[in-house]
Structures are given as C-alpha cells and as structure tokens.
Amino acid sequence: MTRLYSFRVWIISACLLMTFSFTGCWDVEEINRRNTANSLFLDQGQNNPVKLGISIEVPGSLLPAYNGTEQLFQKRNYIISGEGRGLLDAWKVLQTNTARSIYFGQIGAVILSDKFAKVGLTDLLDFLGRWVEIPGNTYILVTCSDPEQLLDLKLRNNFLPGNYIQTYYESPSRKSLAIPIRLWQIFTIVANRTSDIFMPLIEPSQGQYKIAGLALFSRERMVGTLDVEETEALALVKEVQNGYLTVPLGRTGDNRLVAFYNIKSNSKIQPVLSSSGQLQFIVKVLIAGSIQELQPRDVKITPAEIRRYQKAASLMVKKEITKVLTKLQKYNSDVVGFGGKLRIKYPRYWESIDWHQEFPKVGFKVETRFTSENTGVFR
C-alpha cells in the first residue's frame, strides 16, 4: 500500500515539475511592451517597390486627462515606416526601427496610396489574409495624397487616426456618403468573383479627415474614382438607411430646392437574359425620405406639391444612378454586385461566361420611385 501511494506521490510530483516546463513564456508580452499599431499605410517606396508604415501612439498619452495635464493636448501619434522588395521585407525593416515589437492585433484602418492600389492588390491581399494578427474587421481606404503625411496629422480632436476612422463609421449617417468596406469583405468579394471591390477615398480637410468619394477597382486593381455625389448615388443602389438628398426644383441658377433627410433606399436588381443572349439589368430603386429644407420656405405643403417634389427627386436620382452605372461600365468595375444577381437567376449562364468581359456590354434600365414621408416639424 505504501509503495503504491509513494508511486502516486512521485507521479504527481513529476507532473507538477513538468508544468514548470509549460512556463508559457513564449507568448507572454505585455501590451505596454508592444507597439500597438493603430493604423497602417502602404505606398510605393522611393527605392523599393513597397513602403509600409504604421501609426503608433505615444506611450502614456492615451490616459484620460486629470489635473490639467498636457497629454490631452500633445500629439498622440507618430509614424514609422520601412521600405522593401515585398510586404514582409518592408515589415521586417519596420521592426528594426522601433524599441518595442510591433503588434498588429488592434489595427483600426489600412490606408493605401492610389499609386499602390493601381499596381494591384493581389499580393497585399495574400499577405493580409495569411497574417493572423490583423483583425478581419479592419477598415481599408485609399488616398490620393501622401498616406504618410495623412496619418502623421495631428487631428483637431487629437484622436489617433485609426480611432478617428472607426468612430467615423460608427455613425450610421456616414454610410451613405462613405461606403465602408472591411478586410473580410474584400476577401469575400475577391473569392466569389461576383463583384468588384471598392474603397472609400480619404483626404485631409480642415485639420481632420474627410471621405472624398470612392475608389473603384477592377479585378483588384484601382481603375478610377467616384466623387461624393456619385458615391451618394451609388449608395442609394446599394441600399442606405440614413442618407441625404438635395433636389433642385428649377433650372440652373434658380435656387429653389428641396432637401431630404433620413433617406432610406431599397433596390431590386433583376437580370433579364433575352433569347438572343442580350443581357439587361432592371434596377428598381425605391427611396423614402423626410423633407428637411425647402427653399423658398412654404409652411403649407399641399399634396400636389409633394408629388412634384417626389417626381423631381425620382428623376434626379434616376439621372444620377444612370450616370454612375455608365461610369462603372466604363471602368469595368462592378461594385454594385450585378454579377451576383446574374449568378442567382442564371447559374448555368454565369458559369459559362467571364463576367469581366460581359459587364461592359450589359444594358441597364433604371426605375426610381421617391416617396416623401413627412415634412419635419413644420407642416
């Protein structure tokens, strides 16, 4: 009996001693010992194809202010960058420029320069996809200005750039002006091949950032941009919940207008394949909104006037959407997802074609209907 229990004590002691080998030192690295990258930018280097840079917070600067400390007012971020032949090479150079190891697990946004985006994103996507740390819900944006200077700005509200972008998109009313896209969505679009990727355009403005439109991609290569109004029109097709619309009511120079707020749009896209093989998409967009501004002011809006405003808004939206779709075809960038609708309705036909060859040739028929729900506080 004693021998058996001695054996048991030895086994338990051996197991306990073994646990010391499981010290777990391998992955222990405290957050204050890491440089947590808040945002990342990619550009073409001067001497190398790739320039990779990150925006890091100044250590200790993100504490809430008390007793009037200065940290609230000092610049809270700085940039470090590195160049290389490839992305991993550039990343390696980046690591040598910092005292603490770089941690990408909390990245809020990735900014690409337009030059980099025009070369093609296939390599970037492979790198970002394989790298475990980068969260899938990171926002991706494109800038036509220098991304390093963009991220090095001391923003007026002294937010870190990644936090600024995340906060920007948390507001539901922004999505109609600046359609966000996240990393996982990019992977989805690229894998399914039923549409093309797009990215918001970000530019500096008044000491902050603004979203200046949309960058269009065709097969992972940037091919063009949409301005803010075109982006708004596109957003209507992609369905928004909180948009804006200003409709001029007279000729050019006449400053009569009606502006709508709380725009909600619902779109139905139906592909029609004729017997001769001609493909057409019927795009029906139903929009509802509330009157927010009327120039000149009218305190008693009649049903006839409402109908007039609705008709004007419908026509304007139809014109804008048609213009945008034409532009998309010109750039061969199906950011709306027409390919997906085609795949659903004509799966065999979809398998037999190359959508990128066919998209510029399809026809569109846009039908819009605008309803005005209420007139705000005034009648």
Partner 1 sequence: MLNEKTAIGPGLLFMLNFSAVYGYGFFLSMYFAAKYFGVNGIWGGILIFILMIPVLYIVTDLGHRFPGKSIIRYLPEITNAFPAKIIGFVYLVFLVLLTCWSLNIISRIFNLYLLPRTPFQVILGLILLIEFYITSKGIEGISRVTAFIFIFCLIFVLLFTVSSYQNFQLDNVLPIFDFTLKDLKNGKYFEGIIHLFNVGLPSAMLFMVYPYLSERRKGLKTLLVSSGLAVLLIEMVIISNIGIWGSKGVLQFDWPFMELGKQTNIPVILQTVGLFVLPIMLIQNLFAGSSFYFATAQGCSEFFGKYNYRIYRWFLLPIIFFTSVWTTNAVVIRSLFNYFVAFGFGVVFILPLFLWLIALMRPEKTAGSERGQSK
Partner 2 sequence: MIFERFFNNYRKMTRFPKVKNTVVDHQPINGDCEVDLRTLLGLVGNPADLVIHRMENNQNKAVAVLLYLSSLASGIDLATHIVEPLNYLLSDSTGKNPDPGQVRRVLVAAQISATTDLHQAIEYLIRGNALLFLNGSSQVWTVAFPGFPRRQIEEPPTERVVRGSREGFTDVLGDNLGLVRRWIRDPNLRVELQIIGERTKTDVAVLYLNDVANPDVVREVKKRLGKIRIDGILDSGYILEMITDQRWTLFPLVQETERPDKVAAGILEGRVAILVDKSPFALLVPVTSTEFYQTSEDFYLNYWVGTFIRVLRGIGTFISVTLPGLYVSIIAVNPILAPSSLIQILASGRTQVPVPVIFEVLLVFIIFEIFREAVIRIPSSVNMILGIAGGVLIGLLATQSGLVAGPTIIIVIISSLSSFTTANTSKEQAWRLVRYFLLLAGAGFGVLGLTLAGVMVLTHMASLKSFGVSYLGPWAPPLALDMIDAYFRIPWWLSYRRPSVYRPQQEDRLGDSGEEDARNAE
Binding partner 2 by CB under 8 A: which of 61, 246, 262, 295?
Answer: 61
Partner touching 108 among partner 1, partner 2, none, CB below 5 to 8 Å by kind: partner 2
Q: Could you give the CA distance from residue 25 to residue 39 in angstroms, rounded to a whole number?
A: 28
Nearer to partner 1, 142 or 183 (CB): 183
Name the phi and psi angles at 279, rounded to 5: -105, 135
In DSSP terms, 284 is beta-bridged to 268, 367
Single out the residue of 75, 115, 133, 172 in contact with partner 2 (rule: CB under 8 A): 133
Q: Record the tokens describing residue 27, joined without a space.
A: 């992955």
**Residue whose structure tokens are 């959508």:** 355
Residue 49 interaction partner, one of partner 2, partner 1, none, beta carbon < 5-8 Å per kind: none
Smaller CB separation from partner 2, 108 or 271: 108
DSSP state of 64: P
Which residue among 60, 68, 277, 303 contacts partner 2 (CB under 8 A)? 60
Q: How far is the CB of 273 from partner 1 (least distance, A)?
A: 15
Longest dimension (CA), the chain: 105
Pair type for strands 279-295 and 363-372: parallel
Q: Whose Cβ is closer to partner 1: residue 122's or residue 149's? A: 122
Query: Rg for the chain (alpha carbons), in Å?
Result: 27
Q: How near is the Cβ of 124 to partner 1 at its closest, in Å?
A: 15
CB-CB contact of 237 with 283 (8 Å): yes
Q: Which residue stretches of 141-204 are H helix?
A: 147-151, 161-170, 183-192
Which among partner 1, partner 2, none contacts residue 162 (Cβ within 5 to 8 A by kind)?
partner 2
Cβ count within 10 A of residue 263: 24
Q: Which residues bind partner 2 (CB under 8 A)?
A: 1-2, 5-6, 22-24, 27-32, 34, 36, 38, 57, 59-64, 103, 105-106, 108, 133, 135, 160, 162-163, 166
Residues that bind partner 1 (CB under 8 A): 15, 22, 24, 26-27, 129, 132, 135-137, 182-185, 187-188, 191-194, 337, 340-341, 344-345, 347
